[in-house]
Chain A
Amino acid sequence: MSGDTEGLQARTRLKGALASLEPRYVWEVGEKAVRAVLFLAAAFAIVMAIAIGLSLLGPTVSFFGKVSPLEFFGGTIWSPDIPVGGSVQFGVLPLMVGTLLVAGASSAIGLPLGFGAAIYLREYAPGRVREIVKPVLEILAGIPTVVLGFFALLVVSPFLQSWFGASFFSGANAIVVIGIMIVPIVSSLSEDALTAVPTDLRDGALALGATRFEATTRVVVPAGLSGIGASFLLAFSRAVGETMVVLIAAGQHIRLHFNIFDQMTTMSGFIAKRATGDVPSGTPVYDALFAVGFTLFVMTLLLNLTSNRLRSHFREEYE
């Protein structure tokens, strides 16, 4: 008897379970679950951006507890191990000047080259040439930076030594190679910007008797200026963050000077040189690494935010 009741209860439960397996019900729950999982994946970027901020911020805060920001951003001597004038020195200016010199000079090489390449590819090149040149530029963009650093030391350095009396390791080694490195970034993004400019504008100028060059420089380029600016900023930001080329070819001296033919170190180069996994946490040097990293992170973040804003401004205009 009690067995019967139990059987009945079991059957009812089974029925309930089966009802909850109705396709519509399963689908609704399933769809919601899928959506939630996908949303979590999309939120990963934000979570990681915050994780980067926090993981850099912790040691950075403890660093600024020991070294005043004024001393860090205003100091001209970086000597975390050997005391200079009675105490160890954490002036980031030598690294910052190195970074801006290397990024600025390599941009002076890479931006015009990339921009010229973009104009040629978009406005002049026959289809055949485009089909060959664009993938080859992509190969250049895909070369690992450790290879570029090797190339800087092997091929660029001897040239600079004999032409400019540069030292074996020099800022100029890195500048030349990073300049070439950013060409494909500028050319492909600038070309996208030029392509997005409506053809009517170009055709109008041509119909009024402008040469193709005049149409390009006076109509197309001004119309695509914010997109081109975005590509320039992104390339500059890549040059600021470039590590391996500097680490291999620019040398190790951390000294405030402006001679690019002498040894030079950037913020990223310094981080990769000193952070090799076995720096004891909590030491001033460990914290200094993160303070430098945080400064680098903020610099590139500002550049990228500006670049993205320019690009979305450009999109609103034409797309």
Chain B
Amino acid sequence: MKLRSLRLRKAIEVTFVAVFLISIVVALGTLAMLLGSVVSTALPYLRTEVVVNYASAVNPLQAGYAAAIVGTLWVVGLTLLFSIPLGVAAGVYLEEYAPRSRLTRFLEAGVANLAGVPSVVFGLLGLALFVRILRDITGGPTVLAGALTMTILVFPYVVITTQEAVRAVPASLREGALALGATKWQAIRGQVLPAGAPGLLTAVILAASRAMGETAPLIVIGATFFQSYLPSDPRSFFVALPVQIYGYVGLPRQDFLDLNRNGILDPGEPLLASGGWPGVAAAGIVILLVILFAFNIVAMVARNRMQRRRL
């Protein structure tokens, strides 16, 4: 290796640290720009109408997200109902029961690879399996079909988070219970799961966040875009928040062009009937992000609590 002067080596170091710092600034700056542009575009449309009105493809001022909000709650609720028991059970099996065998490695590889499948492919699975083959049960592209599709999508995340939570429980708790005569399952149910509860809560929130934000699978299975009634049971047709946002984004090419030119949206314009869809879409994004951030803040609090308890 050629020896360079210390000054040169230090200069190289400083340059690269600056480059590394810039990469962080770019990422964080983009996030800030994203949130800023969304909120400023949404501002004129953040009124009660946008929450309580049904979707409209005619008048942006009357357009809202009522069916989408309720639809998202339905899908997320059912997805959690299916995926949490299933995923926690699988995580507990892999961490507590599974022998070190080829079968176990196969199962774990299955979970890891399921996590890497593009979400749109889950949509195709949902379309073929839940909407077409199991039509008699799901009733077509319904809340149930959407939730089942999402269940498969979030399942690996629940399993992996559960495994981490169970692994973090000190062995002494488990062994103490076993020494007192508890069976394996009693030790798990009475000691391991309660001690890992904050981690399991993180799994719930992760699953809910994914189920709430995923759009492509729901579009592919055939969620509606403009629906003017609330889904009332698992076999109702539905629209979800991100799908509805996509619906509004897809409406108005001209509006985006105008927005790009002028930089602002003016809802006071009399010609409003044809303008302002980006504002409606942005208002939907604000609703979606508010719900998501609320979930994620809970996740961080839960995680910090778990870490503090572990110390």
Contacts and interface: CB of A to CB of B under 8 A. Distances in A.
Given A184-B27, A237-B116, A275-B123, A144 B288 contact: yes
B113 to A, nearest CB: 6
A177 to B, nearest CB: 8
B292 to A, nearest CB: 7
Contacts of A41: 85-87, 89-90, 93
Interface in A13-46: 27, 30-31, 34-35, 37-39, 41-46
Given A142-B292, A243-B120, A271-B123, A45 B89 contact: no
Interface stretch (A3-11, A65-73, A155-163): A155-163
A237 B113 CA distance: 12
Contacts of B289: 143, 147
B33 interface: yes
Interface string B291-304: 01100100010000
B200 interface: no
B117 interface: yes
A145 interface: yes
Given A139-B31, A142-B213, A301-B116, A248 B23 contact: no
A210 to B, nearest CB: 9
B21 interface: yes
Contacts, number: 276
B57 interface: no
B287 to A, nearest CB: 11
Contacts of A55: 124-125, 128-129
A143 B215 CA distance: 12
A241 B249 contact: no
A211 interface: yes
A158 B86 contact: no
Given A140-B27, A142-B213, A211 B13 contact: yes
Given A42-B94, A120-B23, A272 B114 contact: no
Given A120-B23, A184-B27, A243 B124 contact: no
Nearest to B218: A277
Interface in B182-224: 183-185, 209, 212-216, 219-223
Contacts of B165: none
A39 B16 CA distance: 50
Nearest to A217: B16
B260 interface: yes
A241 B285 CA distance: 22
Interface stretch (A110-118, A196-204, A257-265): A110-118
Contacts of B9: 211, 213-214
Interface residues of A, number: 93
Contacts of B220: 271-272, 275-277
Contacts of A154: 37-38, 41, 256, 259-260, 278, 282
A49 B110 contact: yes
A52 B253 contact: no
B118 interface: yes
Interface size bucket, B side? 35 or more
Nearest to B286: A147
Contact of B213 (A114, A145, A183, A248): A145
A171 interface: no
Interface in B1-21: 9-10, 12-13, 16-17, 19-21
A149 B249 contact: yes
Nearest to B93: A38
Contact of A293 (B20, B97, B120, B152): B120
B223 A277 contact: yes
B60 interface: no
Nearest to A45: B110
Interface in B150-196: 152, 155-156, 159, 183-185
A296 interface: yes
B37 A155 contact: yes
Given A133-B28, A276-B219, A290 B249 contact: no
B34 interface: yes
A64 interface: no
B15 to A, nearest CB: 9
Contacts of A305: 113
Interface of B: 9-10, 12-13, 16-17, 19-24, 26-28, 30-31, 33-34, 37-38, 41, 85-87, 89-90, 92-94, 97-98, 106-107, 109-114, 116-125, 127-129, 131-132, 140-141, 152, 155-156, 159, 183-185, 209, 212-216, 219-223, 242, 245-246, 249-250, 253, 256-257, 259-260, 278, 281-282, 285, 288-289, 292-293, 296, 300
9 shortest A-B CB distances, which residue pairs? A277-B222, A241-B118, A144-B213, A41-B89, A116-B23, A304-B116, A120-B20, A38-B93, A213-B13
